[in-house]
Amino acid sequence: MKELLEITNLCYQNLFENLSFKVEQGKFITISGGNNCGKTTLIRILGGQIPIEKTIKLLGMHIEEYPQNLWKEITGTVIPQDSVEFLFKTVEEELNYAIHLFKKTEEEKKETYKEIVKKYKLTKFQKKNPNDVSEFIKIKLLIAKQLLGSPQVLFLDDICEELEAKEKKEMINLLRTLQLETGISIVMTTSNLNIALESDYLLIISEKKILLEGEPLSIIEKDNVLNKIGLELPFMVDLSVKLMDYNLVEKTELDIDRLVDNIWK
């Protein structure tokens, strides 16, 4: 496996002090931590909005060494709270404008548009004003636009937090599909450990550093540490971990029926 990111001793304001980590390419990576631990700032740094030198290597090269246009080609960043109003009056125009910047022929443009509408389930929203649609649709639009240049990595800042439960599931499925199709790496912050459970690798930030990292479930089972930094365990993990303390079950079970079966055989 090739390395996607390598951060060495990142220091920034009062937020990070010698924060370091490495992650592999092609994975779905989540980064979590309590309120104000620097999740959004980290994505701004990774996305290049906050320039930091000699600290962050993306695909083997320091990010400041990438020429501007190449950087834009290989990375996409979505930070909902930084996003400005959409320029066009309809979702259709908004998408088509973005498409025309990347695709040459009319045929390609049409094809791309159709594909996006289908994949992101935007059929019903094509004629709607992109500034009036739900947060879910807005975020899907932002992602679709970022992916037009076929980047190799997508940096996402807590895009699930504004979504309702059903939408969250759909969003995770969408990200997984995109990843399967294109092999893109995803680095996403989340304040919700339920979301982190769906990823391949989880990093927890606390006290300006990486406190824990590894396979998500094994990290999330550390209930004492996570509670201390203000994170809530997904209910099923919390219940399993506590039942394990009383020797009532042997391992974490995320499915309610199976957990009930494991307790009352």
> Least distance from C-beta 11 to other proteins, angstroms?
20
Q: Are 29 and 185 in contact (CB under 8 A)?
A: yes
Q: How far apart are the first and last CA of the chain?
A: 42
> Contact with other proteins (CB under 8 A): which of 11, 124, 235, 250?
235
Residue 210 to residue 225: CA distance in whole angstroms: 13
Contact track, other proteins, 93-122, x by CB under 8 A:
------------------------------
Q: Is 242 in the site for other proteins (CB under 8 A)?
A: yes
Q: How many residues belong to the chain?
A: 265
Q: How many CB atoms lie within 10 A of CB 70?
A: 11
Indicate the SS3 state at residue 160.
Answer: coil
Q: Is 248 in the site for other proteins (CB under 8 A)?
A: yes
Q: Is 239 in the site for other proteins (CB under 8 A)?
A: yes
Q: Using the rule CB under 8 A, give the single segment among 62-70, 105-113, 158-166, 178-186 that binds other proteins.
A: 158-166
Q: How many CB atoms lie within 10 A of CB 69?
A: 8
Residue 151 to residue 4: CA distance in whole angstroms: 13
Q: Is 165 in the site for other proteins (CB under 8 A)?
A: yes
> Contact with other proteins (CB under 8 A): which of 11, 61, 87, 256?
256
What is the maximum alpha-carbon separation in the chain? Answer: 65
* Contacting residues toward other proteins, per CB under 8 A: 34-36, 40, 81, 158, 161-162, 164-165, 191, 227, 230-232, 235-236, 238-239, 242-243, 246, 248, 256-257, 259-260, 263-264
